[in-house]
Amino acid sequence: MLTILFSCSVRGQEPATEQEPAIQWNESSDLLDDEKALPVNAAQPTPFTAIHKKDKNEFVIAPIPFLNPSQGWGLALVGQYIFTLKDDESPPSIVGGGAFYTEKHSYGGGLAYSGKLANDQWRVGLAVGKATVFYDFYGIGYDQNKEDISIPLKQQVEFAGLRLMKQVTNKLFLGLELIGAEITTNIETESIPGNLTNEIVAKTDFVAPNLKAERDTRNDSFYPTQGSLFDLQAEFHSEELHDNTTYQTYKISWNQYLDLAPFSVLAYRLMARFAYGDVPFYSLSMFGQGGDLRGYETGKYRDKMMWAAQTEYRYRFTDRWGGVAFAGAGQLAPKVSEFDGAAFLGSGGLGLRFRLAQKNPVDFRFDTAYGDQKISYYFSVGQSF
């Protein structure tokens, strides 16, 4: 599903979904015929029978309430058109836009396009938007974060992104993203505890190239039941490209999906992210984004190095309704060598799913997660990973 502005308004402080802070275009379904249809038992309901139709063109327009620990309640108005070009065997393309407002008075909007062209030989993405986001900053490093002392920040961001990827072999894509952004940060209090302001950068402008490699064998990206998604990214920031500092971030992730039985799927995800150089606080690795891990306020725990692992069992009760159970764990550290002995952070919980679209398995999700010694709730659209 195409993730619009509210998943990329601020790096790590997503008001609408707990997803990747940078601009993302998650690829659409490769399932274009009936040959990979799920097993059907005539005595049982038949979830997702519609996803095996070649004609998947449809509009998805809805006001969507959401909830997460970083922003509390919010409302997003989302409009998307999912379509396949005539005589093109590519997966569906998506064009859409959205706007959001949250309980913390964060707001923003954007437009995006994710295109699959020439029988999926090319994948193109475009995105533009702007947002103002209010959130709490707890400092850097586990020892600082666990003190639970924060200051309120106001962050304004304007961004534009371009993505171009080419399929070089079976399901393997290589390409480049260019992300341009202006980020302005203000402290929203006169009472500042400790030295939390030492890491605050007032204003940053940058154009960052992001090299990408991706192998996608999922049978569907909205609700995959088979296959995997491997993603490798290397993002470069430099003062020569009008950034305030010079640093790099590297991220690797792997999602696997196993079709256990009719209507039952086991999904698991492994990821690691490493940042080197003079990294601003908003570009650090952090829990609570991209579902890594649910149960944590986005950005409360952040540092240069991070890894996380999680698993999720998914079951469809009917074509419309489903449920999940999930668990995960991970670590943060200033250096890779310091993972040894670093504190483990874990979470787990249960969730419900309700299908929104007619021809594509786009779910509304509600998750209850326990992490950081408290219970958190999530309302959003799309699977966690």
pLDDT tens-digit readout, 195-228: 666 667 678 888 899 999 999 899 887 889 999 9
Helix (H) or strand (E) holding 144: helix 142-145
Residue 271 has pLDDT above 90, yes or no: yes
pLDDT in the model for residue 281: 86
Mean pLDDT, rounded, for 247-273: 94
pLDDT in the model for residue 239: 87
Helix (H) or strand (E) holding 367: strand 363-371
Between these two residues, 368 and 48, which has the higher pLDDT value? 368
Between these two residues, 355 and 291, which has the higher pLDDT value? 355
Q: What percent of the chain has pLDDT over 70?
A: 83
C-alpha distance from residue 259 to each of 29, 212, 219, 227, 244 (Å): 16, 28, 11, 9, 47
Q: Residue written as tokens 């379509």?
A: 83
pLDDT band at 106 (very low <50, low <70, confident <90, very high): very high
Mean pLDDT, rounded, for 97-115: 94
Between these two residues, 93 and 1, which has the higher pLDDT value? 93
Least confident range from 67-71, 98-102, 132-136, 319-323: namely: 67-71
The tokens describing 272, both together, are: 């690691």
The separation between CA 350 and the C-alpha centre of its own chain, rounded to angstroms, equals 19
How far apart are alpha carbons 287 and 21 in whole angstroms? 11
Between these two residues, 21 and 75, which has the higher pLDDT value? 75
How far apart are alpha carbons 233 and 226 in whole angstroms? 23
User: Residue 195 is which amino acid?
Assistant: N
How far apart are alpha carbons 134 and 106 in whole angstroms? 6
CATH number, span 5-381 = 2.40.160.50
pLDDT band at 54 (very low <50, low <70, confident <90, very high): low
Mean pLDDT, rounded, for 178-205: 78
The average confidence (pLDDT) of the chain is: 81
Beta strands 227-237; 247-261: pairing state: antiparallel
Query: CA quadruple 224, 62, 67, 354: dihedral positive or negative?
Result: negative
Residue 286 has pLDDT above 70, yes or no: yes
The tokens describing 282, both together, are: 């908003």
Write down the number of H helices and E strands in the chain. 1, 18
Highest mean pLDDT among 5-14, 36-45, 71-80, 87-96: 71-80
pLDDT in the model for residue 261: 86
pLDDT in the model for residue 45: 43
Query: Is residue 280 classed exposed, middle or buried when 0-12, 13-18 and 19+ CB atoms within 10 A define those classes?
Result: buried
Buried b (16+ CB within 10 A) or exposed e, 69-98: bbbeebebebebebbbeeeeebbbbbbbbb
The tokens describing 383, both together, are: 């699977």
Mean pLDDT, rounded, for 60-70: 81
Mean pLDDT, rounded, for 291-312: 89
pLDDT in the model for residue 43: 39
Q: What percent of the chain has pLDDT over 90?
A: 40
How far apart are alpha carbons 293 and 347 in whole angstroms? 7
Domain extents for the chain? 5-381
